[in-house]
Structure 1
Amino acid sequence: MMIKNRWLALTIIGIAVIFCLSLWFSASVFATEIKQSWGLTPRQEALLAASIPTGFVIGAFLSSFFGLADRFHVRRLFAISALLGAILNGFLIMVDQAVIGIVLRILTGVTLAGVYPTSVKMIAYWFPKQRGLATGILIASLTLGSSLPHFISIFTVNMDSRWVLTISSILSIIAAILIISLLPDIQLVSKNSSWSFSVFGKILKNKPVMLVNYGYFGHMWELYAMWTWLPMFLTVSFLQSTPNVDPWLSMFISFVTIGIAGGIGCIAGGIVADKIGRANLTIICMSISAICAILIGFTFGGVIWLTVLISIIWGASVIADSAQFSVGITEFAEADYIGTALTMQMCIGFLITILSINLIPIFQTLLGWRFVFILLSIGPIIGIISMVKFKYFESRVYNL
């Protein structure tokens, strides 16, 4: 049965994204066990942390280079990517060597580049209007999916940690089935079936698109480094504040911060952006997240409720504007290269995350947890400058 209602389509796509994105941090939640069983060196540990975004960058580059999101049916591309991601993630259960494990995580990241950008393009088709809200709900699904392994780990804390890998792989297989069996095979293929390097030239010459990209790059400098290292920060901070604290507390707060607060922030951001404009919404969110990045370190080892409060505010604000950078591309890029422009944006954005993710442990050694997250505030500050300039183009088009 193929569905035709756009809100039902959004629900199916959102659920599929939640299930697929559970692959992203499926190995990170038991990084301590992996470090011990694989005998990871500090360098290998850093490579493992950056493996998924590295794979995503490779996949996004290949997708944008060959124009996959504009030349092939995105529903099929999504389903195939979800299935391959599930298989590669499942193989990790049998791995006992660091090199093989890191390679598998990189390949899993490659497959996720066929999930996220394609889902954004599907939403753009289903929602020519209310696109900000719809894309906000989609990014909320991505956020919830990324945090899902932390939630699963709460129930498997006394079990073999590989159950998290198993469950996330099963969920990704279900996602592929949902997309391929319930969504109609919409013709989203570009009218221009040939592809050339001139597409990149068109993107680079499109000033509002590039301003949105610069805002997104600043946003991404902060986002995934925060998602990757905040759970570790919370664990160490809670133990220093209360040595006998239960281990599930930091897992639960990580899930609430990244998944629940982040998901609510995405939906609220989509609603507000459709009313006050994408530029204004992104400027507000990046201002709040930059302040949280600066402040949270000063709560380290202190009163737990204050750390939790700033974490939740940070979790909501750091992702609430994410959808609007994608929507900006769909609104200002030409129809024939929207998919490529989206994938190119994400490719560079996730390349930036690799750098920030790897810099945090280096600077944490030098500065300690109290000051290290201040480094992340640089991104949103730069992003704010870009989006202030983008307001000019947005106001001309929408009379804001």
Structure 2
Amino acid sequence: MPPARILPTIVFAQFAGTSLWFAGNAVLPELQQALHLQSGALGLLTSAVQLGFISGTLVFAFLSLADRVSPRLLFLLCALLGAGTNALVAFVPHSLTSVLLLRGLTGFLLAGIYPVGMKIAASWYSSGLGKAIGYLVGALVLGTAFPHLLRGLEASLPWQQILLAVSVLAATGGVLLYLLVPDGPYLSKGAKFHFSNMLQVFRAKEFRSATFGYFGHMWELYTFWAFVPFILALAAPQLQSKQVSVWAFWVIAAGAVGCIGGGYLSQKYGSGKVAFWQLLCSGVCCLLSVVVLQVREPLLLLPFLLFWGVVVAGDSPQLSTLTAKTAPPQLVGTALTVVTSIGFAITVVSIQLTSYLLQVLPAPYVFVLLTPGPVLGLLSLRRLLGK
């Protein structure tokens, strides 16, 4: 039985480190004013982090860093360096190029935090891995939602202080994890660098089933999160701007309930069944959205979006658990990193496609087109229902 401090420390460190991801979102209006940006250019700031993360995960997976060096040390270094690149945004000359570069570097360094945190959890938990990763992803979900709450409550801190506070939080999380969480008993060591490591992990059929389930889930997840404020403003026009932000926080944050609750259910029913049924429910929400978004009744819309928020994220930790369990033991870190990289690349395609379709189709008919993701995931997960 792991010491009681292990899971809370990993969860806090994961939340603290991944808060760097969305720090730019919390100060977007202020950055827009400082950089004299047009509204359409703001998407570049978010895309810079996403593309940096994709690049980082590809490099980390290619070099098998998470399996060749101490994951605790890797997490610490990336948390400290990421805190630094995030804080520098408050001090560098305010040009779009410099800010995009720093946000991209922050995303690159997050590759040593998010998937590596799951690797550290996997080194401590075997039978309880689904519950442990449920808490980790739940913390990430809350970090995703937090900027919307800041906007809704009209936090009055200067934007530079917000960035610095997030940087201190991230650095603190990295130091605490390094000091309080030693290498776990299930940590596999001795992996060597080979050009084929990234491809080798895909040779197992069960691993491919888990990863394609994850890819289908990612086609839906971040697109839903990205457009929650748009959906609320569209389908509930009577809501004021601050109300939209607060409800967006609750809808996205509801995913933490699905992550943590699903983690406990996985102890009884297995990660495969929990992931399958949550993905099925979110797929049904995709189909029903074409009806609900046309009704424009808040008493129907808000409970529907809250439920969708629970299930759209709730399968994520169980899919990551299945990925870790079915990967070659000596390449768990590489497997989690490369799968995460591909998954986030899929989100970029899905978000851009949805943005385009919203220009050519009536909005209520667009989000039903997220359904193919859950369908692909469900077809892939059938062989893992007993896991």
Give the match for residue 72 of structure 2: 75
TM-score of the superposition, structure 1-length normalised?
0.88
Which of the residues 256, 269, 290 maps onto 1:263? 256
Question: Where does structure 1 lack aligned partners over 5 or more consecutive residues?
Answer: none
Aligned equivalents of 1:22 and 1:236: distance in 2?
Answer: 28
- In structure 2, the partner of 1:16 is 13
Report the counterpart of residue 105 of structure 2 in structure 1: 107
8 A contact 1:296–1:311 mirrored in 2? no
Kept after mapping to 2: 8 A contact 1:18/1:146: no
CA contact (8 A) 1:156 1:164 kept: no
Q: Which residue of 1 aligns with 2:354?
A: 360
Residue 282 of structure 2 is matched in structure 1 by 289
Distance 1:207 1:81, change over 3 A: same
Q: How many angstroms apart in 2 are the aligned matches of 1:167 and 1:142?
A: 17
The CA distance in 2 between the partners of 1:232 and 1:102, in whole Å, is 24
- Are the counterparts in 2 of residues 22 and 149 from structure 1 also a CA contact under 8 Å? no
Aligned equivalent of 2:220, options 222, 225, 234: 222
Map 1:295-314; keep pairs closer than 5 Å: 295-296=288-289, 298-299=292-293, 302-314=296-308
The CA deviation at 1:151 is 2.8
Distance 1:12 1:283 in 2: 29
Q: 1:307 to 1:157 in 2, by over 3 A?
A: farther
Question: In 2, are the aligned partners of 1:60 and 1:344 still within 8 Å (CA)?
Answer: yes
Give the stretch that moved more between structures: 331-340 or 47-56.
47-56
Letter in 2 for 1:269: G
Matched, 1:241 2:238: yes
Check conservation: 1:49, 1:357, Cα contact below 8 A.
no
Unaligned runs of 5+ in 2: none
CA RMSD of aligned residues (A): 2.4
Change (3 A) 1:154 1:168: farther
Displacement of 1:36: 5.0
Q: CA deviation at 1:43?
A: 6.6
Whole-angstrom distance in 2 between the partners of 1:97 and 1:368: 37
Q: Which amino acid aligns with 1:116?
A: Y
Counterpart of 2:50?
A: 53
Change (3 A) 1:92 1:228: farther
- The separation in 1 between residues aligned to 2:136 and 2:209, in whole angstroms, is 22
Matching residue of 2:23 = 26
Whole-angstrom distance in 1 between the partners of 2:151 and 2:266:
34
The structural deviation recorded for 1:295 is 3.2
Query: Matches of residues 165-204 of structure 1 in structure 2 within 5 Å?
Result: 165-186=163-184, 190-204=188-202
**Residue 140 of structure 1 is aligned with which of 138, 141, 147?**
138
Aligned residues: 385
Distance apart, 1:186 and its partner CA: 5.0
Deviations 1:23-63 (A, max 9, x none): 22222244445445434457744433322221111111111
Identical residues among aligned pairs (%): 31
Secondary structure in structure 2 of the residue aligned to 1:93: coil
Q: Is the 8 A contact 1:70 1:189 kept in 2?
A: no
2:340 match: 346
- In the aligned structure 1, how far is the partner of 2:258 from the partner of 2:191? 38
Measured in 1, the distance between the counterparts of 2:140 and 2:363 equals: 27
Aligned with 1:328: secondary structure?
helix
> What is residue 273 of structure 1 aligned with on the other side?
266
Please tell me the residue identity of whatever aligns with 2:144. S
In structure 2, give the amino acid aligned to 1:184.
Answer: P
Tell me if the contact between 1:71 and 1:190 (Cα under 8 Å) persists in the aligned partners.
Answer: no
Q: Which moved more, 1:57-66 or 1:161-170?
A: 161-170
Q: Does 2:83 align with 1:86?
A: yes
* 1:125 aligned to which of 119, 123, 126: 123
How has the CA–CA distance of structure 1 residues 269 and 189 changed in structure 2, closer, same or farther, with 3 Å as cutoff?
A: closer
Q: Which amino acid aligns with 2:175?
A: I
Give the equivalent residue in structure 2 for 1:336.
330
Q: Which moved more, 1:224-233 or 1:265-274?
A: 224-233
